Amino acid sequence: MPNPSTFSGNPGSRPPTSAVRQRSRWVERFLDGWSVYRKNTIGRIGLTLLGLFGLMAAASYIPQWVNPIYHPMTGVDPLISHSTGPSLQHWLGTDYIGRDIFSQLLAGARVAFMVGISSALISILFGTTIGMVAGYAGRRTDVVLMRLADMIMVMPTLLVVLILSALFGQLNIWVIVVVIALFRWPGVARVIRSQTLSLRHRPFIEAARVSGASHLRIIFRHILPNVMPLALLYMTFRVTSAIIIEAALAFLGFGDPGTVSWGMMLQWVWKTGHMFQAPYWLLPPGICISLITMAFYMTGRAMDDVLDPRLRKEETQA
Amino acid sequence: MTTALLEVDNLSIGYRTTTGIDLAVDGVSFRVDRGGSLGLVGESGCGKTTIGMGLMRLLASNARIVSGQVRFEGEDLTTVSEERMREIRWRRISMIFQAAMNALNPVHRVQDQIAEAIITHEPGLSSHAVAHRTRSLFELVKIPEDRLQDYPHQFSGGMRQRVIIAMALACNPSLIIADEPTTALDVIVQNQILRAIGTFQKEMNIGMIFISHDLAVVADVCTHIGVMHAGSLVEYGLRQEVLDCPGHPYTQMLVNSLLTLSDEPADLSSLVGPTGTNGPAMSGGCPVHTMCQNATAACRREQADWVALSTTHRVRCQHAGEQP
Amino acid sequence: MGLKRFILRRLVEIAVIFFVIMTVLFILFRLAPGDPVSRMVDPSMTPEDARLLMESMGLDQPVWTQYLYYLKNAATGNMGVSFHYGEPVTHILLNRLPNTMLLFTTSIIISALLGVFLGKIAAWKRGERTDTLMTIGALFCHTLFLPWLALIMIWFFAYWLGWFPITGMVSPDVWIDPDAGFVVKALDVLHHMALPLMTLVLIHFGSYLLVMRSSMLETLKDDYILTARAKGLDEKTIRDHHAAPNAALPVVTTVGLSLAFSINGGALTETVFTWPGLGRELVFAVSHADYPLAQAAFLLIAIVVLLANLVVDVLYAYLDPRIRY
């Protein structure tokens, strides 16, 4: 086995290195990408917005700690029992039973991140695995899996969750997260599959196969690290669609009644007939949903710009 | 001497780069007569395609004509307005492109694409007249009439090239610029196309500039031959002169690489050293001095002036005319 | 391959997918907690009616036979009786279908046309202010939350400005009026449709614009554009006649890919604007535990989406001669 350190150093053509080397290679690639990302204006704006929302999510625990009347779900101000406008006590006013809107907004940020990221993670896990298997195994497995992906892609996710909710009653937030993930993986799978297809015939894969590596080992040790950046990129898009679907569900009244999400807030405005008189209640949740969507999209686009030339560079080096 | 159809005088075309302007074409002069044809030969990157684009003023946005004149039918094409240029394009000068490329629009029928050229430049014609001319053009290039309604992807490479030729002839131009028209075709088809082009040209008395990297192809159909390298014209003369007595070492190499069935194995001994630099002209020195056996210090220092080997044959070499 | 054979093959595929969906639904219905029978038969029905209904739907039979009854009934259009309306479900839904088609189709067509038109201009004026404005505008609209936008539209245009009605598809007095002619009624519907249509178009045109723009930028590198220039054609002709038709093809593909997304949006829009369509009926049925109605509405929407996919594919084949011949 040739000594790795004497191998002509191109990232793509190096043989499997030890774990330590691999870790430092990852760090180096990440820092590399970060320096390019930093220069991208869109990426910077996106990340800033995300940071803002992250702060909101973290801060969501504060209001009820300060004073129980600020609890988003159960906090009732003894002095107010209807919707009022912004005041010193309630920065964004109160909803129809006197709960503080601002703390609801903060809680919504927390829910958005939770729903978005967990749903996206599950989607990616599923989609990447299926994509890699389909791309690697080829022929019939590939055809079957892609057919399945096509069928699922055609289904309108929102309506599917609606039907499930009809049958199984009010759905728990985690069930919603999982179901959304189960219907959004085809998009990722397709992309990962084509990437795997192009990687399958690279020399280093051939080398691994010749040296007796099992298929599983090849998939997870060699192909996965190379498709990972692409998977992470697509994760940002999955996050946005998960957030939007959950918000739409909550808006229609089928969300988890125990969670305060921005969609839920909009449902309350709408259903209690306050939409014309309470802009302080109507506007913030909608603006937040749109901004967080834009933030994730911008981050994704910037990542795309970073990864694209690098992917191409790796192609020519390997 | 009859007035030339096209006279190119010291034309230079350059590309804007971060460091200034790189010349892709450096001080090129030649003429084309009515009914005559000039073959521009050279390796890829020597600037011959750029000349073709430059004559039509179809250069990329980062390229421009730096100096020189292009006298065509009494006008200087380097200075006419864009509107006038659009009128001249296709009506007086048309182009034949490589058929392998997407030269034809995939979503329009070929008949419509040819008709479009006619209608743009002769708006007064009735649709009947346009259809008639399209049909006769197809007859001319020997494509069956029932293929008029087809789309480009339904034609084979050779047939597509015929369509492109028919389209180029549509407005009865005085000059045709053919840029590698046979490169993507197999040999038999190549021959047919060359025959066809030669026939039209003579029958319709059209002037022609035939751009190719293949001297064999050019040697077949052209009356004059111009050899280019690294942006400069290094030899120019009548076909027979250039082929029989190539004055420039580079031309000699090209001629010697011509393989014919009857000859003895080609003499490739004159190919010496690396194939030299290509692309935009480098400053100083003869562009082929790295390849040439007889290169001297003078060659490395500066490019030679033109040396006339005959009234119609000139060469740009310090040692032209000297016997090896 | 021939267009007819292509359509036939796709119809078979659609039938298979639909069959799978139906089967999955059947299984889910049986898996869900509670009594499956009470799910199809309104508990408030009289016992005789209930028994008749149960027999016609095979609910007193073993599971496998029930499945066959289920399939047979679906084929004949007997999907049960709505709890809420007390009428056969098929009847209600077929009444709603044209309303959804009207809104859905119109919104997609207008969004696509708008996206193509603006995207074409944005690409042509690449890098200039027009381009930046359009791209940002498209992105902005694309990230708006649909129900929220709908509420804002109602608030602004219907409540504040009073230009459009707040809810519904028709004004009751116009609809009932025996003297009102077709034109009057049509105009009334259009008046009601304006806001939901605007909302849908605003949300969707953005992605079409962006796709058209990048597609145009790619197309402009193609060789036939050079040929068109060499022919002496003017810039506008080259852009509209040569580049745009080729660049628009990926937009058609995008429309197809985003149909599921569009239907989600359609359901939300119908609900907020109280537009009596399939989407709204589904939401209504689910929130009132009207199972027969919910199931049938879902299946009907599924068919609509599948057929819409087919229409888009056929359209693409029609527009791109390389596929047709």
Q: Encode pLDDT of B48-73 as tens digits.
A: 888 999 999 998 888 989 899 999 98
Per-residue model confidence (pLDDT) at position C205: 93
Lowest mean pLDDT among B230-234, B253-257, C280-284, C298-302: B253-257
pLDDT (tens digit per residue) in C300-319: 999 999 999 899 988 888 88
Query: Could you read off the pLDDT of B104-133 as tens digits, one per residue?
Result: 999 999 999 999 999 999 998 998 999 999
Residue A12's pLDDT band, with cuts at 50, 70 and 90, is very low
Per-residue CA distances from B252 to A296, B30, B244, B301 (Å) = 64, 20, 10, 22
Query: Cα(B242)–Cα(B221) distance, rounded to whole angstroms?
Result: 14
Question: Sorting pLDDT into bands at 50, 70 and 90, what band is C149?
Answer: very high
Q: Which chain B residues have a beta carbon less than 8 Å from that of C238?
A: none
pLDDT (0 to 100) of residue B71:
92
pLDDT at C103: 94
Higher pLDDT among residues B298 and C148, named by residue: C148
Show the DSSP H helices in B104-248 as ranges. 110-121, 127-140, 157-169, 187-204, 215-221, 239-244
Does residue B112 sit at the C interface (CB-CB below 8 Å)?
no
Asked if residue C219 has pLDDT above 50, the reply is yes
Q: Which amino acid is at C105?
A: T
Are residues B58 and C224, on separate chains, in Cβ contact within 8 Å?
no
Q: How far is CA B121 from CA B58, B88, B170, C231, C233, in A?
A: 18, 9, 10, 9, 9
Q: Answer whether B107 sits within 8 Å of C246, measured CB to CB.
A: yes
Q: What is the mean pLDDT of residues C205-211?
A: 92
C148/A285 CB distance under 8 A? yes
Q: Do C319 and B94 count as a contact with CB atoms less than 8 A apart?
A: no
The rounded percent of chain A whose pLDDT value lies above 70 is 88
pLDDT at A251 over 90: yes
* A186-225 b/e (C-beta count within 10 Å ≥ 16 → b): bbbbbbbbebbeebbebebbeebeeeebeeeebbeebbbe
- CA angle A75/A79/A83 to nearest 5° reads 70
Q: Closest residue of C to A292, CA-based?
A: C143
- The per-residue pLDDT for B264 is 52
The token pair that represents B301 in the structure block: 């220092």
Q: Do C224 and B104 touch (CB under 8 A)?
A: yes
The pLDDT, as a whole number, for residue A110 is 92
At B283 the pLDDT is 54
Q: How far is C165 from chain A (nearest CA, A)?
A: 14
Measuring CA to CA, how many Å separate C238 from each of B116, B130, B182? Answer: 12, 21, 27
| Percent of chain B clearing pLDDT 70 (strictly above) | 85
Local confidence band at C237 (pLDDT 50, 70, 90 cut-offs): very high
The pLDDT of residue C318 is 85
| C and B touching (3 or more beta-carbon pairs closer than 8 Å) | yes
CA atoms of A52 and B171, how far apart (whole Å): 65
- Contacts with C247 from chain B: Cβ below 8 Å: none
Instruction: Please check the confidence at residue C96 and state whether its pLDDT lies above 80.
Output: yes
pLDDT digits (tens, 9 = 90+) for A123-168: 999 999 898 888 888 788 888 888 889 888 888 999 998 888 888 8
When computed from its CA atoms, the radius of gyration of chain C, rounded to whole angstroms, is 24
The band of A309, judged by pLDDT with boundaries at 50, 70 and 90, is low
Give the model's confidence band at A21: pLDDT under 50 very low, under 70 low, under 90 confident, else very high: low
Of B221-225, C40-44, C64-68, least confident by mean pLDDT is C40-44
From the CA of C325, how many Å to the nearest CA of chain B? 8
B183-187, B214-218, C263-267: which range is least confident on average? B183-187
B154 contacts on C by Cβ (under 8 Å): 325
A25-39, A253-267, B276-290, C239-253: which has the minimum mean pLDDT?
Answer: B276-290
- Which residue from C minimizes the CA distance to B117? C231
- ipTM of this model? 0.85
Mean pLDDT (whole number) for C161-181 = 78
Contact between chains at C224 and B154 (C-beta distance less than 8 A)? no
- d(Cα B9, Cα B28) in Å, to the nearest integer? 7
**Per-residue confidence band for B174, with pLDDT thresholds at 50, 70 and 90:** very high
Interface contact A282-C151, CB threshold 8 A: yes
Interface test with A, best of C21, C26, C148 (most A CBs within 10 A): C148
- Integer Cα distance of B207 and C195 in angstroms: 64
Average pLDDT over residues C48-58: 73
Residue C68: predicted pLDDT: 80
Question: Is the pLDDT higher at B102 or at C179?
Answer: B102
B91 touches C: beta carbon within 8 Å: yes
Q: Does A have 3 or more CB contacts under 8 Å with B? A: no
More confident residue, A37 or B26: B26
In this model, does residue B271 exceed pLDDT 60? no
At residue B259 the predicted structure's pLDDT band, cuts being 50, 70 and 90, is low
pLDDT at B274 over 50: no
Average pLDDT value over all residues in chain A: 81
Span A26-38, mean pLDDT? 74
pLDDT at B43 over 80: yes
Q: What is the pLDDT of residue B280?
A: 52
Q: Write the pLDDT tens digit of every residue in A187-215.
A: 889 888 888 888 887 888 778 878 877 77
- Judge whether A112 is closer than 8 Å to chain C, CB to CB: no
* B27, pLDDT greater than 60: yes
| Stronger pLDDT, A226 or C305, i.e. the higher one | C305
B323 or B28: which leads in pLDDT: B28
DSSP letter for each residue of C36-100: HHHHHS-TTS-HHHHHHHHHHHTTTS-HHHHHHHHHHHHHHT---B-TTT-SBHHHHHHHHHHHH
pLDDT on residue B267? 47
- Tell me the HSE value of B159 on the side-chain side, using a 13 A CA sphere: 14
Whole-number pLDDT of residue B284: 61
C145:A151 CB<8 A: no
Average pLDDT over residues A31-49: 79
Which residues of B fall within a CB distance of 8 Å from C320?
Answer: 106-107
Residue B23 bridge partners (DSSP): B14
